[in-house]
Structure 1
Amino acid sequence: MDSAPFATLLELGRQARQAESPAELQFLLVNDSHALAPYRQAALWLDGGVRALSGVVQVEANVPYVLWLDALCRHLAQAHEARVVVRASLPQALAGEWDEWLPGEALWLPLGDADGVLLARDLPWRDGELALLAEWAGIWHHAWRARQAPRRGWDFWRRARRPGAGARRPWRWALGLMLLALIPVRLTVLAPGELVPANPAVLRAPLEGVIDAFHVQPNEAVRHGQPLFGFDEALIQSRLEVARQALATAEAEYRQTAQQALADPRAKAQLAVLTGKIEEKRAEVAYGNDQLTRARVVAPRDGIALFDDPSEWIGRPVAVGERIMRIATPQDVEVEAWVPLADAIPLAAGSQVVLHLNASPLAPASATLRYFAHDAVERPDGSYAYRVRARLDAPTEHRVGLKGTARFSGRWVPLGYWALRRPLASLRATIGW
């Protein structure tokens, strides 16, 4: 018995196992199968289309030959069995063009459930050639499935339904993923935060006017009663001087009328009017003195002066009640953060908050939630967020004003919910479900 065909089959199997790409495997099937049995033409039908042709580097999908082959292979793939194909066994629509594209006989070899390879030649096919080619088709299909299995999800789950030891492995992965999704984790959100004074003394403009000078610098330590800044006093001084002159005139007029009242009863009746006028002018003088005192602002307590660049304030008119600076105690610090609307998870008072400062990311500040605003506030960038305040668990060496990222820890939830919370919220907002 001639062993050459079996040696050729073994060699083709070795080449199939060592193929470095799917294209190389396809080329091997339609071209090198000629070593087992001679043929004139070969076509590979794969995944619902003609993927490779013998003697052709690249298949042109829209040429008439390929379109006819596509229809022919689609018809032959319905049988799921190897067979010799002749023109007489085909429908009239396919048989009419057989002589134009193919020689006398063809051999159809199925590759799995829906794929196959077509070999055509003039001579009839012999039984020995059919057996060799069928075995080679099985070897090639096994090599193709081994290469394509990681990329074809349908085949992955189709193999999972087959009995056997290997069939349980995909379900093990699925079960493992389900168990992983049920692992409880803390529901956490991130928000921009910073260190702010907990109970600062806010200094607002006591009167309407123009700031004339600052006596302290930003972040400077101040003491109780120390001058901080002052308003332009020229207008206040002029008004006070006018009020004083008006008071002096009213008092002189009262004295003159009092002397006349000794001899003229009618002048005595004017004394009550002049007395009220004097009290009015005294009130104006007192108001002027009070305004002059208010124009010189002093520190209400010891602390650190927190405000912007003094040059931005000097010469700038301010309204009554406008905030100018804050006096904060160095150790009276807490965390303030702004939680976006999409991250407003339920947070109870006493929840853990950790602030990772940009200036010191390796030394986070731990805090306890104290206050979560009920209403969202518009931010400078146009977005809305909830104000959150948290009390530091321990004194910190970081100064007020340092910014970073605050992490809020909520209730325990499954890992799957933690990972899919934001995508599900975006999906609901998009489709309205």
Structure 2
Amino acid sequence: MSNEQHPAMILHQLTTEFLAAEDKKQLYFRLLNRSISLCGYKRAVLFKVDGKRAKFLAVSGKSGVDSYSEMVEKWEKLASSLTEKDCPQLLNASSFPAKEAEHWQFLSDHTNGLSVYWLPIKPWGKTRYALWFERWEQDEWTERDLQLLSLVGVSAKSAFERLEPETLCRSISCKLFSWRRLLGATVVLLTVLLSWRVPLRVVAPCEIIPENPFIVTAPLSGVIAEVLVESGDPVKAGGPLFDYDPRVVNEELEIAKQQVKILETTMRTTKLNALNSKKAKAELAILDYRLKQENVRLKMAEYRASKLNVQAEVSGSIIVDNPEEWRGRPVEVGQKVLMVVDPQNINLRIWLPEADNVNFSNSTEVKVLLNAFPDDSLNAHLKYVAQSVSVSPEGVPSVMAEGTFADLADRAGEKLRIGLKGSAVLYGDKVSVAYWLLRKPWASARRIMGI
């Protein structure tokens, strides 16, 4: 009776050790090296089974093996070539295709007659691991040996299930996954990608800008003393905008006036002397020319003095950079200082990246998502797309486009304000889903690889 109980006691001990393994590495070691106490064998190998492929994991008697060694390569080829990996079986040369038989012969020659028992392990009902038990020197397996090793497979199954708990994703994949189903799903997916057509979608940065703004430029070359308005201030025609530093201009005006007075006095004296002196009469023509010249300079100085206080020519709202930064800044004639705009007349400016300059028509609808109001969207229509490439404020080579808001009358006073930024979503011609997904990656690959 003790001889009959002995294998049961060993199996109980092995099962306890397998279930007590803290990780897979420890379980591998115990499976390969402790199972020999139940049934003798010369060598055991553990494989990870994934479909048709069997990957080497560990071998008995060694803590580590080079996974690229010749022996490992032969084991993997033989195990992967098995057609019935889910069934426990005794292996011999006839179990493998002719192409792999030479690997079996190699192992058999080096063991003086090889006999192998293939034992699949099926945690959660699917073959995921397999044990390869070897006996050498023509030592054959008995029916009792196979029964005992089969019990090792049952214990190993429970141990793997403890280390690999069943999850919803694993359960679904086990039920749904198969190569046939995967192939069918791939065909359906490719058919959808190639046949289903969707509008080509482009997302570009945008900004709300004024329509037909009145640009106020510097009328004189000089230094600005102070900007009298700030952004958003209302202004009426004739209202003050900014002042120049008057010191240089007033000094030029005083000098011009003094020069005119001096020449006028000299002219009067020379006219009296010209009655008796031919020399004075000759100088009279020169003085007359110089007086005209100085009068022109005086008028220029008076004009410059009249422009020291710049006023608005139209009514509207002010748009200007930081007014404090303009104080003491020198400007040239024609340099932009500020703008006067009508807050109710606005447009949408879009910066289309150069790579996204696809075909758009003037009837293209634009969906506007403003950063300040992420919970709402606005509708606009594309007005025009420029034909040249320029650099956007973000420093990206882009094509500038403009659009008009479709619901301006209802939304202008509510949310639309000049200066708001966001993203514009434009829809071009309809293309296949495959093109829609691969357009940018393919363009990047062509640019990088030159194909």
- Asked if residue 427 in structure 1 is aligned to residue 445 in structure 2, the reply is yes
Native 8 Å contact 1:243 1:281 kept in 2 = yes
Superposition deviation, residue 339 in structure 1: 2.2
Which of 400, 403, 406 is residue 390 of structure 1 equivalent to?
Answer: 403
Greater alpha carbon shift after TM alignment, 309-318 vs 390-399 = 390-399
**Is the CA contact 2:39–2:149 (under 8 Å) kept in the aligned structure 1?**
no
Q: CA contact under 8 A between 1:354 and 1:366: conserved in structure 2?
A: yes
Structure 1 equivalent of residue 289 of structure 2: 276
The 5 A counterparts of 1:173-188 are: 173-181=185-193, 182-188=195-201
Q: CA deviation at 1:326?
A: 0.7
Kindly report which structure 2 residues correspond to 1:401-416, keeping only aligned pairs within 5 A, or say none. 401-416=419-434
Contact persistence 1:43–1:50 (CA under 8 A): no
Counterpart contact for 2:28–2:46, Cα < 8 Å: no
* Structure 2 residue aligned with 1:327: 340
Indicate yes or no: 2:210 matched with 1:197.
Answer: yes
Gaps of 5+ in 1: 1-20, 161-166
**Which amino acid in structure 1 is aligned with residue 57 of structure 2?**
R
Question: Which of these residues, 236, 240, 244, is aligned with residue 231 of structure 1?
Answer: 244
Whether contact under 8 Å (2:204, 2:351) holds in the other structure is: yes
Amino acid at match of 1:274: L
User: In structure 2, do the counterparts of structure 1 residues 76 and 361 end up closer, same or farther at CA, with 3 Å as the change threshold?
Assistant: closer
Q: Map of 1:255-334 to 2, 5 A cutoff?
A: 255-264=268-277, 267-334=280-347
- Measured at CA, do residues 190 and 30 of structure 1 come closer, stay the same or move farther in structure 2, by a change above 3 Å? same
Residue 201 (structure 1) shift: 0.9
Q: Are 2:56 and 2:76, in contact at CA under 8 Å, matched by a contact in 1?
A: no
The answer on whether the counterparts of 2:370 and 2:421 sit within 8 Å (CA) in structure 1 is yes
Deviations 1:107-152 (A, max 9, x none): 344879xx87234389954675699799999999x999xx9xx99x
Task: Using the TM superposition, give the Cα deviation of residue 337 of structure 1 relative to its aligned residue in structure 2, in angstroms.
Answer: 2.5
Secondary structure class of the residue paired with 2:387: coil
Q: Could you list the runs of 4 or more consecutive aligned residues of structure 1 that deviate by over 6 angstroms after TM superposition?
A: 21-35, 66-69, 130-140
Aligned-partner Cα distance in 2 for 1:390–1:224: 29
Q: 1:346 to 1:123 in 2, by over 3 A?
A: closer
SS at match of 1:373: strand
- Give the TM-score normalised by structure 1: 0.72
CA distance in 1, matches of 2:116, 2:90: 7
In the other structure, the counterpart of 1:61 is: 65
- Evaluate the alpha carbon distance shift between residue 62 and residue 173 of structure 1 in structure 2; reply closer, same or farther with a 3 A threshold: closer
In the other structure, the counterpart of 1:44 is 45
2-structure distance, mates of 1:185, 1:253: 88
Identity of aligned residues (%): 26
Identify if the C-alpha distance between structure 1 residues 74 and 173 changes in structure 2 by more than 3 Å, giving closer, same or farther. closer
Provide closer, same or farther for how the CA distance between residues 72 and 255 of structure 1 changes in structure 2, counting only shifts above 3 A: closer
- Structure 2 counterpart of 1:51, which letter? L
Counterpart for residue 14 of structure 1: none
Task: Deviation per CA, 1:263-302: give whole Å up to 9, x if none.
Answer: 5566445444333222212111110111112222111101
User: For residue 202 of structure 1, what is the amino acid of its counterpart?
Assistant: I
Structure-2 separation of matches of 1:84 and 1:133? 20
Q: Secondary structure at the match of 2:242?
A: strand
Change (3 A) 1:25 1:413: farther
The alignment partner of 2:248 has SS state of helix
**Gaps in structure 2 of 5+ consecutive residues:** 1-22, 48-52, 83-88, 94-102, 121-126, 161-165
How far 1:228 sits from its partner (Å)?
0.5
Q: Write the letter of the residue equivalent to 2:341.
A: A
Q: CA deviation at 1:262?
A: 4.5
Task: Please name the residue that 1:206 is paired with.
Answer: 219
User: Contact conserved, 2:320 with 2:337, CA < 8 A, in 1?
Assistant: yes
Which 10-residue stretch deviates more, 44-53 or 131-140? 131-140
Does the aligned pair in 1 maintain the 2:209–2:346 contact within 8 Å? yes
What's the counterpart of residue 383 of structure 2? 370
Give how far 1:425 is off.
1.3
Q: Distance in 1 between matches of 2:342 and 2:349?
A: 16
Q: 1:105 & 1:333 partners in 2: Cα distance?
A: 87
* CA distance in 1: counterparts of 2:44 and 2:264, whole angstroms: 124
Q: How is 1:11-50 mapped onto 2 (pairs within 5 angstroms)?
A: 38-41=39-42, 43-44=44-45, 46=47, 47=53, 50=56
Q: What secondary structure sits across from 1:363 in the alignment?
A: coil
Following TM superposition, by how much is the alpha carbon of 1:328 offset from its aligned partner in structure 2, in angstroms?
0.7
User: In structure 1, what is the Cα distance between the partners aligned to 2:70 and 2:294?
Assistant: 113
Structure 2 CA distance, aligned partners of 1:82 and 1:224? 103
Deviation at 1:49, TM superposition (A): 5.3
How far apart are residue 70 of structure 1 and its match?
4.0
Q: Is the 8 A contact 1:72 1:94 kept in 2?
A: no
Structure 1 residue identity aligned to 2:308: A
Q: Tell which deviates more after alignment, 76-85 or 183-192.
A: 76-85
- Shift of the 22–177 alpha-carbon distance from structure 1 to 2, 3 Å rule, reads farther
Identify if the C-alpha distance between structure 1 residues 134 and 324 changes in structure 2 by more than 3 Å, giving closer, same or farther.
Answer: same
**In 2: Cα distance, 1:293 partner to 1:389 partner:** 39
- 2:132 corresponds to: 117
Give the counterpart letter for 2:294 in structure 1.
Answer: K
**TM-superposed deviation, 1:321:** 2.1
Q: Is 1:188–1:409's contact at 8 Å kept on the other side of the alignment?
A: yes
Separation of aligned partners in 2, 1:364 and 1:77? 60
Relative to structure 1, the CA distance from residue 33 to residue 375 in structure 2 (aligned partners, 3 Å threshold; closer, same or farther) is: same
Q: 2:223·2:331 contact (CA, 8 Å) conserved in 1?
A: yes
